[in-house]
Structure 1
């Protein structure tokens, strides 16, 4: 599982309860307590938001995003397809903080783009755990 601190996230725009009213806003993970499923997110102000992993969106992994763009280009339409390729280009070539915020802004700019280019942090964490378990099983099989 990768380190979460510094990860750019978006608070799900349809989140019904948010004490700091940051639905649809982009922030950065500053702390994560995975055991209690509490992710602390900073938004450039002293006030932090505390969320469960299913309330936060992250960009799809760059290879998955690229594959989804290519396979779904007809259904997505030319504008979303171009945006997905641009987000993928940022992930691949310029993944610094400023550019990743720009990529996330683009990813949540429309409902279609959001559904095509993001996943919940919860899903990403589950995938990381699943991949780690698979790697462990392959290592044991190879002995």
Structure 2
């Protein structure tokens, strides 16, 4: 099972209600309560933002993104293609610096963002992530 804590996420740029005004910003998931669909995100200062999983974006899996780039190349302009490849190359490194740089590229262009990112909600369902706190209470 994969843990969400410590993963980078972007607050959806088009989020209409955000009490901490972090739309389009990259943060680190500090805590995830999947049972109540509350994801707490830190931004390196200030209060944590609390979001539902559909309000946050993460990068698609690097293999999935590469396959989509190669199969969809005819349906995109050259700049989109280059930016998607750049994101995909940065995904070869699993550190925060490269992941953050890839996310910054993605959120600067709506077409690139649409092709390279998915909601955290979709990511959780695709990867069958379960709530760690729920799992711990079942084991007791």
The normalised TM-score by structure 1 is: 0.86
Asked if 2 retains the 8 angstrom alpha-carbon contact of 1:53 and 1:120, the reply is yes
Match of 2:47 in 1: 47
Match of 2:94 in 1: 95
1:25-77 per-residue CA deviation (whole Å, 9 max, x = no partner) reads: 11111111111110010111031100000000000011111011111112221
The Cα RMSD (Å) is 1.2
Answer with 51-60 or 121-130: which moved more. Answer: 121-130
Hey, what's the Cα distance between the residues in 2 that align with 1:8 and 1:83?
19
Is residue 68 of structure 2 the alignment partner of residue 68 of structure 1?
Answer: yes
**Which contiguous aligned blocks of 4+ residues in structure 1 show a shift greater than 6 angstroms?**
none
Between the two proteins, the alignment pairs up a number of residues equal to 129
Shift of 1:109: 1.1
Match of 2:10 in 1: 10
The normalised TM-score by structure 2 is: 0.88
